[in-house]
Amino acid sequence: MQARTARHRNYNRLTDRPLDMYGEFTVTEHLEELRKRVTFSLLALMLATAVSVPFSPVVLKFLKYPSGGAIGRLVFFGPEEAFLIYMRISISAGLVIALPVILFQLWAFLSPAIDERFKKHAFFFVFFSFLVFLLGCSFSYFILLPAALKFLLNIGRNDLEPVISAARYISFVTGLILACGIVFEMPVISFFLTRIGVINAGILRRKFLYAVIVIMIAAAVITPTGDAFNMLMLALPMLALYEVSVWVSFFSGKRKISG
């Protein structure tokens, strides 16, 4: 009871709002806290996007690199399309830059559900979440995208001349990069869900066959090509990440019991 009271008292200092007579937030207060965290996250995203705008042409060249020179100049088909393309690039870059701030806001909102001992580990949560996100983006950029683009651009090469829309290409590349970054968050999500008691290593182990099916479906959806090779290139790391998530859940759950 004392630990629970201290936990809520700490959270009250964080939000600077009174608690009700039972030491719990009301629905209105939870919604207000959510609004506050979303506002901070959006402000960080807007600022990072504004900073990224002057560098969007450089980022565009960076995003063309996985094609291995197979794509020359991208084209656009409307007077406003070039502006929208650079804005999409800036927003995507801004999301990556602002992600640590967004992750911290997420941690601050969810921290009341975590043991008091782990609240001080906000830095590690943000750091490792951002690190695995970058690892996922790097995997997509250096491994998955080159293979996918090579496969797609070589289809009908003898009969068809590719004229690549800049909007379609940027949407394709940024979507795949960000999706892989999110997929690589599985171990971090496993740790958090284990700490709040939603899952444990035993549940993850028993649901392995279901996880394989879900992972194969997700890989098929995320991977833009229809061939099994590129799908397996994404599915195998996802299976490895699931296994890592099981062990993360095991050790974090064991520490919870021993603590």
Structural domain boundaries of the chain? 2-184, 185-259
**If we measure between CA atoms, which residue out of 44, 54, 11, 45 comes closest to residue 30?**
11
What is the reported pLDDT for 11?
Answer: 45
Bridge partner residues of 165 (DSSP): 75
Measure the CA–CA gap between 229 and 226, rounded to whole angstroms: 9
What is the reported pLDDT for 20?
Answer: 44
What is the reported pLDDT for 117?
Answer: 63
What is the reported pLDDT for 114?
Answer: 66
Low-confidence ranges of the chain (pLDDT < 50): 1-23
Number of alpha carbons in the 13 Å side-chain half-sphere of residue 73: 3
> How deeply is 125 buried, as exposed, middle or buried, from its count of CB atoms within 10 A (0-12, 13-18, 19+)?
buried
What is the reported pLDDT for 70?
Answer: 83
Distances (CA, A) of 107 to 10, 235, 256: 14, 29, 19
What is the reported pLDDT for 112?
Answer: 72
